[in-house]
Structure 1
Amino acid sequence: MVNQKLIDFIRDTYASSDFIPLHAPSFVGNEKGYLAQTIDSTFVSSVGKFVDEFEQKVKFYTGAGWAVATVNGTAALHTALHLAGVRAGDLVITQALTFVATCNALHHIGANPVFLDIEPIAFGLCPDKTAAWLKEYAVLDDAGSCRHKASGAAIKAVMPMHTFGHPAQLDELLAICRQWSLCLIEDAAESLGSFYKGLHTGTLGRFGVLSFNGNKVITTGGGGMLLCQEQADGAKGKHVTTTAKVAHPYEFYHDEPGFNYRMPNLNAALGCAQMERLEVILANKRKLAERYAGFFQGSEYRFVREPDYARSNYWLNTVICPDLESRNVLLESTNAQRVMTRPVWQLMHRLPMFSDALRGELTHSEWAESRLVNLPSSPTEV
């Protein structure tokens, strides 16, 4: 019964009898005008005023020390891992419940994931499970580096994700990283506009990464951003993402292997226009979240709220179903009536390319996998 009522509620919210997507972008500002300026300038690639302007806007909004625009979030993650000194054969602790891009970036650099459990509040990497795994399976060598006891492989970083925009428990994870000499890299791809104890996600670790894919809070079509706290990291990030080319009036000289990861000016122009409306978008998304919370109040379905320590962007509104059967019925009934809902991602260790990765027990991850459903979350006037 709740399924049909939910479908009617969503259609009423979006005032539409057509297909309702999970998260569609909103272009009602200066997007067309800035794109036209870019085309008229002929600077449509990675050299152009909007790239620098977009970086500055994101830097100012997030409070990051440095922001480097990239072609997508995966490229930004790859760059962060590279700058953190992660190399082929190293281990990086992350969560099993994440989008595949987190693990693809590890694969691109040749590192291996260690899949640990999430906590059941914000669905981020669980500090208690992380501390317990390190205590049992890791050791600090004579040089103070963290290593896996059994294999001797270096453990270089901890990479939590702020799931659906809800900030993970960063203070506890930072303390673990200090104890074990690990680098904290925040996969903040989904969390532009989310704050942990007053600080923007992606700015507490040494590195943070944002995504501006078409389904994110704001979009550049395709794009990402590397956030750094230290100027040296930011300068290095910009250098290596620009093919490591040394500035010269006409000579081509590259002083190290680099990546061709810079965001094109066309995409940045779109991002600048989107940033101008970010606060309005976030306000509308919070109103939508409140509507969902009211709808599910008193039912067997629990709406996922932001944790007490944080302010979330509510990127994807999420409901916890009573069990796997009710989850499947909800998914089938909504999608059959052209209201797009989605389950959470399959746990990463279930995918063939990561099936042999080290992992701890995943009780909360498996529980969430069998119950979570994402609901339409487009930023609309509600």
Structure 2
Amino acid sequence: MNNKHLSLRIVEAFRQVLPADKSSFVPLHEPAFKGREWDYVKECLDTGWVSSVGKYVDRFERDLADYTGSPFAIAVVNGTAALHISLLIAGIQAGDEVLIPSLTFVATANAVSYIGATPHFVDVARDTMGLDPYKLEAYLRDIVHVQSNGQSFNRITGRRIAAVVPMHTFGHSVELDYLVEVCERFGLTIVEDAAESLGTFYKGRHTGTYGKLAAISFNGNKIITTGGGGAILTADENIAKQVKHMTTTAKKPHRWAYDHDQIGYNYRLPNINAALGCAQLEQLPEMLHKKRQLAYRYEAIFAQVEGVEWFKEKEDGSSNYWLNALLLEKPDEQLRNSILDFTNDNGFMTRPIWTPMHRMAIYDHCPRMDLSVTEELELRVINIPSGSDLFHN
């Protein structure tokens, strides 16, 4: 099958699944406002409660904790800020190494760099596109020296390896049970990058509840949005208090005095954004239903298209299918690019997966393991239109 023929078959498949209006461009993922967003935001405007204090911030945190099953949720300005603070609270220090997948959005690596720590890139599994705990374990046995205090040090660089940051790619959960075992064995803290996985469960338990802390994103392209926004999940009450204090410029409570007892960050989510989030969270079950129906339709249609396979959740998880993905049969940059050009030219937004971190000039000096699966997937993955409003009965 030549490149043009496969591209044409993919566009024909899109036309069978997606809305019939051929005059419009179908985006990759856009927000849907079908609930009480206008009412809640208008109340903030009417009352003047638009900044980082207000009833909607408190409600959004409670609702998010209830939905995820996390005892505590703290709302912040974006997912990157959530990850930054999570790493700081987890005890990551300048000079440490933090294990992260090379196949991730750049914010994962950037949050590590903000602290002065070094991203250490590890490979992913083909069946999740997220961090591979089995390959990680074998790698750590080769390069790590575990000291008597239980801390792991890189034999090559001499630096402490302090944490692991699994990222749940496109809403598909990493194999968390075994990752927890590996991290316990090597004394590594888990901080989950759950930016993309609100509504995703692994063995019946929500992602973001396996690590010491977790970061979620509510950017405009996520499954629900607060415009910009994020949240930190934790099961530890003391940690939750630390997070709230640090993200509120570390200001000590007082009626009028300005006293800050540590370096803090102005990272709290404004009430007006939280109002939007409350309305969105009310609709999350319906959004998830529509996204799964869209995914099932894609699965059926692309089963008939030779040359690509649709990426499916594993049996032990329930994905939010934030972004649906096609996989080419084999790595082929020319074919991938020709499909991207043809689909976008024909009104359907598609995108490649991220450029792996180890191939970026800003991170190409960082330590890394064998990244063969990452490099393979870079040339096989194509994201396709995935918005919840694209499903129609």
Considering the TM-score relative to the shorter chain, is it more than 0.5?
A: yes
Q: Deviations over 1:31-82 (max 9, x none)?
A: 1111100111111110111111111111000000110101000000000000
Q: 2: distance between equivalents of 1:9 and 1:307?
A: 24
Q: Deviations over 1:181-229 (max 9, x none)?
A: 1100111100000000000000011111110000000000100010011
Deviation, structure 1 residue 11:
4.2
Deviation, structure 1 residue 2:
4.0
Cα RMSD over matched residues?
Answer: 1.1
Equivalent position of 1:367 in the other structure? 376
1:315 is aligned with what amino acid? W
Matched, 1:127 2:133: yes
Uncovered stretches (5+) of structure 1, i.e. residues with no partner: none
Q: Structure 2 matches for 1:245-256, cutoff 5 A?
A: 245-256=251-262
Equivalent position of 2:307 in the other structure? 300
1:10 is aligned with what amino acid? F
1:234 to 234, 240, 248: 240
2:57 to 41, 51, 54: 51
Equivalent position of 1:36 in the other structure? 42
Equivalent position of 1:340 in the other structure? 349
Residues 99, 120 of structure 2: 8 Å contact kept? yes
Q: 2: distance between equivalents of 1:105 and 1:22?
A: 26
Matched, 1:16 2:25: no
Q: Deviations over 1:224-248 (max 9, x none)?
A: 0100111111111111001111111
SS of the equivalent of 1:122 reads: coil
2:356 is aligned with what amino acid? L
The number of residue pairs the alignment matches comes to: 382
Q: 2: distance between equivalents of 1:47 and 1:15?
A: 44
Q: Which runs of 4+ in 1 moved over 6 A?
A: none
1:322 to 317, 329, 338: 329
SS of the equivalent of 2:98 reads: strand
TM-score by length of 2: 0.95
TM-score by length of 1: 0.98
SS of the equivalent of 1:94 reads: strand
Q: 1: distance between equivalents of 2:156 and 2:51?
A: 47
1:26 to 18, 28, 32: 32
SS of the equivalent of 1:139 reads: strand
Q: 1: distance between equivalents of 2:15 and 2:56?
A: 37
Equivalent position of 1:6 in the other structure? 10
Q: 2: distance between equivalents of 1:187 and 1:142?
A: 29
1:168 to 155, 171, 174: 174
Q: 1: distance between equivalents of 2:309 and 2:211?
A: 31
Q: Deviations over 1:261-289 (max 9, x none)?
A: 00011110100000010000000000000
Identity of counterpart residues, as a percentage? 45
Deviation, structure 1 residue 28:
1.2
2:295 is aligned with what amino acid? A
SS of the equivalent of 1:113 reads: strand
* Cα gap change, 1:292 to 1:153, in 2 (>3 Å): same
Equivalent position of 1:67 in the other structure? 73
Deviation, structure 1 residue 87:
1.1
Deviation, structure 1 residue 15:
3.0
Residues 13, 302 of structure 2: 8 Å contact kept? no
1:14 is aligned with what amino acid? P
Q: 1: distance between equivalents of 2:273 and 2:15?
A: 32
Q: 2: distance between equivalents of 1:111 and 1:229?
A: 25
Equivalent position of 2:205 in the other structure? 199
Residues 192, 211 of structure 2: 8 Å contact kept? yes
Q: 2: distance between equivalents of 1:210 and 1:58?
A: 10
Q: Deviations over 1:297-349 (max 9, x none)?
A: 14221100001110000000001012313322211100112310000001101
Q: 1: distance between equivalents of 2:361 and 2:244?
A: 34
1:291 to 266, 281, 297: 297
Deviation, structure 1 residue 145:
1.4
Q: 1: distance between equivalents of 2:152 and 2:370?
A: 21
Q: 1: distance between equivalents of 2:172 and 2:156?
A: 34
Uncovered stretches (5+) of structure 2, i.e. residues with no partner: none
SS of the equivalent of 1:359 reads: coil
2:85 to 75, 79, 92: 79
Deviation, structure 1 residue 354:
0.4
Equivalent position of 2:219 in the other structure? 213
